[in-house]
Amino acid sequence: MRYACILLSLTLTGCAASYAVPGPAAKLEAFGAGARVNATDSPIRDALAKKPLASFPTGIAVARVQGTPYCSNTVQTWGRGRYCVVTTRDIEKDEHVERLRKMQMVEGIAPMNRLLLPVDLNSDLELRQAAAHLHADMLLIYTIDTNFTVDDKAAPLTVISLGLSPNQIARVNCTASALLMDTRNGYIYGVAEASDRSSQLANAWTSEQAVDDARRRVESRAFEKLVAELEKTWSGVVHQYASLGPAGPKYATQ
C-alpha cells in the first residue's frame, strides 16, 4: 500500500516535493435510494414504500467509506468499485466510539470487518449484508472529505507543493458526513454532517509527514463534531421510532 502511495505521488507531481491527499470522499448518494425526483418513477415509489424495520434497543454496524482510490500510510482499506471501506481506525479516538456506544437504546457498536465484505463494492447492499452477518439492525456509514487551499483565491487542491512562499496561508478544510440506515431494506433514519478547518503559513509544511499530521488533526476534530451531531440525530430517531408501540419498527413488515 505504501509503495502505491509513493508511486501515485510521483506520478502526479514529478520530482517536486509534494503531499497528496489520500483520496476522495465516497459519494454518499451511492447508498440508499438515489432516484431522480419524479414521483411517478418506480424507484421513488420503492423508496417511499420502505418502512423502518429495526427494533429497539438495537445494534449498529459502522463503516467508514471513501472514494477509490484511497491511499494513506496510516490506514488500510478494502474493496474496489464505487467506494472502498477503511478497515482501521485513523482519526477516530476511543472516546468517540464510546460516545456512540453509550447512546440511548444502543446495544452495541460493531466495526465492519473485511472478512465480511466482497471485493466489489458498488452500493449499500454489500454493507447491509455485512451488517446482517453482525446481527446489527442498523448501519452507520460515514465518509471524510478533505481538501487544501493556498490563499482565498486558490481552488481546492488534492496535491499541495511543499516549501511554498512564506507569505502564503495554507488552509485545510474537512467535512465529515454520515447516514444511518436500516440493515434490512436501506430505510434512511437520519443524516449528520460536521466540518473543521485549520490554517498556517504554507512554508511551515516542509515534509509530507507534517502535512499529513495536519490533515489528520483536522479530520479528527471534524469526526468529533460529527459524533456530536450523530448524538442529536440519534436522539430524534429514538424519539420517533422507539416509542411507536405495536405499529412501530419491531412489528413492521416490509
Specify if 204 maps to a domain. yes
pLDDT in tens, 188-242: 999 999 999 998 877 777 778 888 888 999 999 999 999 999 999 999 999 998 8
Torsion of CA 204, 207, 209, 211, to 10 degrees: 40
Identity at 67, one-letter amino acid code: G
Band of pLDDT at residue 38, cut at 50, 70 and 90: very low
Q: Judge contact between 20 and 158, C-beta under 8 A.
A: yes
Confidence (pLDDT) at 31: 73
Q: What is the CA radius of gyration of the chain?
A: 20
C-alpha–C-alpha distance, residues 36 and 157, integer Å: 31
Place of cell 464505487: 82
Place of cell 446482517: 132
Specify if 47 maps to a domain. no
Report the Cα–Cα distance between both ends of the chain, in Å, rounded: 42
Band of pLDDT at residue 17, cut at 50, 70 and 90: low
Q: How many domains are there within the chain?
A: 1
C-alpha–C-alpha distance, residues 40 and 82, integer Å: 27
Is residue 40 exposed (0-12), middle (13-18) or buried (19+ Cβ within 10 Å)?
exposed
Average pLDDT taken over every residue of the chain:
81
3-class DSSP state of 142: strand
Q: Judge contact between 186 and 51, C-beta under 8 A.
A: no
Of all helices (H) and strands (E), which one includes residue 212?
A: helix 208-241
pLDDT in tens, 132-142: 999 999 999 99
Q: Judge contact between 205 and 157, C-beta under 8 A.
A: no
Band of pLDDT at residue 110, cut at 50, 70 and 90: very high
C-alpha–C-alpha distance, residues 211 and 147, integer Å: 12
Specify if 26 maps to a domain. yes
Cβ count near 29 (within 10 Å): 9
Residue 149 sits in a domain of what CATH number?
3.30.160.150
Q: Which residue has the higher pLDDT, 234 or 72?
A: 234
Specify if 145 maps to a domain. yes
C-alpha–C-alpha distance, residues 238 and 56, integer Å: 8
Specify if 240 maps to a domain. yes
Arithmetic mean of pLDDT, 72-89: 92
Specify if 234 maps to a domain. yes
C-alpha–C-alpha distance, residues 173 and 150, integer Å: 11
Specify if 42 maps to a domain. no
Q: For residue 169, give the nearest of 148, 139, 191, 146 by alpha carbon.
A: 148
Range of the domain at 196: 2-34+52-247
Specify if 41 maps to a domain. no
Q: Judge contact between 12 and 18, C-beta under 8 A.
A: yes
C-alpha–C-alpha distance, residues 120 and 84, integer Å: 9
